[in-house]
């Protein structure tokens, strides 16, 4: 298995032109359907009858991206982010345990809290200019060890660029937009690996008490409100 450091070097050496070629070859245009911003099942108007059965929108957001979003709209930390649910257990008073990284906050429907929908069903991001890298690059990802890899089909010969299911795939994309997306895709791969290394190096077991949630990111252990966790 390759080390995170070697994968980071691979990410930094990615050829943006080659990434753009792959994106241009498959094609993409956002249709503003909102599928990538909403709960996958259940939620408001979904298939599940109980919110506990739903699959809320879950998108990774890094500490610096959280601060950027906070500054953009004068939001509190919890308005922007929530503990990544993976690894947490459901206790008597709600989730508890240790988890790694943050997810964008969701509303009562399980949709991204920054998602808005017009009467005609057209979706929009209310923080579009400050949206995280994972949102900027959807539905594409780079398949390197230590990066987020949505299930998807390879769209280049090396199998490095992956495309997640999205109704906007297959549509013509101008070269300039493909290059812009490619640059964001490389930046995301680098950022994900830098964060993974930071989490690994800063992690210290915390043994949270019953009912407590501790989030480990590259800056250390934190409480759900983003403040440092100290016992």
Q: What is the pLDDT of residues 53-104, one digit of tens each?
A: 568 999 999 999 999 999 999 899 999 999 999 989 999 989 999 999 999 9
Give the number of domains in the chain.
1
pTM: 0.89
Quick check: is 31 in a domain?
yes
**Peptide bond before 139: cis, by omega within 30 degrees of 0?**
yes
End-to-end CA distance of the chain: 35
121 assigned to some structural domain:
yes
Q: State the residue range of the domain holding 21.
A: 4-222
In a domain, 143, yes or no: yes
pLDDT tens column, 208-220: 999 999 999 999 9
Instruction: Classify residue 208: in a domain, yes or no.
Output: yes
Distance CA 78, CA 63 (A): 12
Match 């795939």 to its residue by tokens.
169
- Residue 215 falls inside a structural domain: yes
Q: Does 230 reside within a domain?
A: no
What is the pLDDT, as a whole number, of residue 121? 84
Residue spans of the chain under pLDDT 50: 48-52
In a domain, 92, yes or no: yes
Looking at the domain assignment, is residue 231 inside a domain?
no
3-state per-residue secondary structure call for 96-109 = EEEEECEEECECCC
Residue 215 DSSP code? E
């Amino acid at each position: 298995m390759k080390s995170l450091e070697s994968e980071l070097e691979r990410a930094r050496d990615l050829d943006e032109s080659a990434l753009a070629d792959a994106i241009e070859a498959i094609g993409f245009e956002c249709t503003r359907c909102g599928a990538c911003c909403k709960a996958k099942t259940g939620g408001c108007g979904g298939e599940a009858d109980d919110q506990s059965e739903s699959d809320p929108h879950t998108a990774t957001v890094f500490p610096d991206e959280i601060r950027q979003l906070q500054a953009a709209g004068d939001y509190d930390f919890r308005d922007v982010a929530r503990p990544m649910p993976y690894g947490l257990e459901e206790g008597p008073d709600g989730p508890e345990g240790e988890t790694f990284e943050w997810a964008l906050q969701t509303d009562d429907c399980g949709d991204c809290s920054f998602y808005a929908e017009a009467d005609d069903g057209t979706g929009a991001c209310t923080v579009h200019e400050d949206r995280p890298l994972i949102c900027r690059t959807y539905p594409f990802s780079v398949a390197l060890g230590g990066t987020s890899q949505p299930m998807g089909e390879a769209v280049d010969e090396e199998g490095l660029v992956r495309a997640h299911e999205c109704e906007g795939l297959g549509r013509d994309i101008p070269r300039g937009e493909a290059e812009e997306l490619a640059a964001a895709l490389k930046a995301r791969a680098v950022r994900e690996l830098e964060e993974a290394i930071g989490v690994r190096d800063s992690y210290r077991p915390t043994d949270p008490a019953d009912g407590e949630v501790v989030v480990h990111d590259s800056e250390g252990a934190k409480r759900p409100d983003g403040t440092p966790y100290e016992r």
